[in-house]
Chains A and B, each alone.
Chain A
Amino acid sequence: GAVVSQHPSRVICKSGTSVKIECRSLDFQATTMFWYRQFPKQSLMLMATSNEGSKATYEQGVEKDKFLINHASLTLSTLTVTSAHPEDSSFYICSATRVPGGSQYFGPGTRLLVL
């Protein structure tokens, strides 16, 4: 149990376009979902924390108007990278928890390349 999926797994887009990434908890209801990004050879960096039905909490330095997060249900959160630029190219990973403070279950990640 505790499977988290992400879609798409890989996306290539043109500069200036928007890209939506989905994160789903397949067999449990997630109280909280987290969005991370990871640059090559670096560790994960938390972008935002998302609770169902409420606004996401963004980490310092993360532009909320550029990285739109919608947590529409207890099993789905979406991250939209708006007006993507090449510097947004990265590996985006989501995770989800069943209960506050509980284990985080990670999705397989989405590799974004902006040309």
Chain B
Amino acid sequence: KNEVEQSPQNLTAQEGEFITINCSYSVGISALHWLQQHPGGGIVSLFMLSSGKKKHGRLIATINIQEKHSSLHITASHPRDSAVYICAVGVAGANSKLTFGKGITLSVRP
């Protein structure tokens, strides 16, 4: 079993829809990261969180430490949100090393 599991594997949505991407992990963590990777390959760090909830624009990330689960929400989705969304966890005591989920490919249709 992977230490970081993401669901769903692929996701297609219509422009304007509310989207939720999930991440579950099985190890103790220092922090959880949500990353966005566009088709060209470049990676953008969206959020780093260790508790509660963070919001940036149309993106919201939440984490439940007890349940070892995090969600990334996208409100009013747009075709430019189409990308791979990767959940990564910083394993406790591992000096910033990240363990990555396989990523979810999101496609938002106009």
**What is the size category of the interface that chain A forms with chain B?**
20 to 34
The residue on A at minimum CB distance from B84 is A43
A43 touches B101 (CB 8 A): yes
Residues of A within 8 A of B101 (CB): 43
Tell me, rounded to whole Å, the shortest Cβ–Cβ distance linking A102 to chain B. 7
B98 lies within 8 A of chain A by Cβ: yes
CA of A102 to CA of B50, assembled, Å: 11
Binding site for A on B (CB under 8 A): 30-31, 33, 35, 40-45, 48, 86, 88, 90, 95-98, 100-103
CA of A106 to CA of B42, assembled, Å: 8
A77 lies within 8 A of chain B by Cβ: no
Option from A43, A49, A91, A106 in Cβ contact (under 8 Å) with B45:
A106
CA of A43 to CA of B103, assembled, Å: 7
CA of A46 to CA of B42, assembled, Å: 16
A100 touches B96 (CB 8 A): yes
Evaluate whether A106 and B95 lie within 8 angstroms (CB atoms) in the complex, with A43-B86, A44-B100, A101-B31 already known. no
Tell me, rounded to whole Å, the shortest Cβ–Cβ distance linking A73 to chain B. 19
Option from A34, A101, A106 in Cβ contact (under 8 Å) with B44:
A106
A97 touches B96 (CB 8 A): yes
Residue of B40, B43, B86 ringed by the most chain A CB atoms within 10 A = B43
Residues of A within 8 A of B43 (CB): 44, 93, 95, 106, 108-109
Evaluate whether A104 and B103 lie within 8 angstroms (CB atoms) in the complex, with A43-B86, A46-B97, A46-B98 already known. no
Q: Which 9 A-B pairs have the closest CB atoms?
A: A106-B43, A108-B42, A43-B100, A109-B41, A103-B48, A43-B102, A44-B100, A101-B96, A97-B96
Residues of B within 8 A of A101 (CB): 30-31, 90, 95-96
Tell me, rounded to whole Å, the shortest Cβ–Cβ distance linking A115 to chain B. 20
Option from B33, B42, B102, B103 in Cβ contact (under 8 Å) with A109:
B42
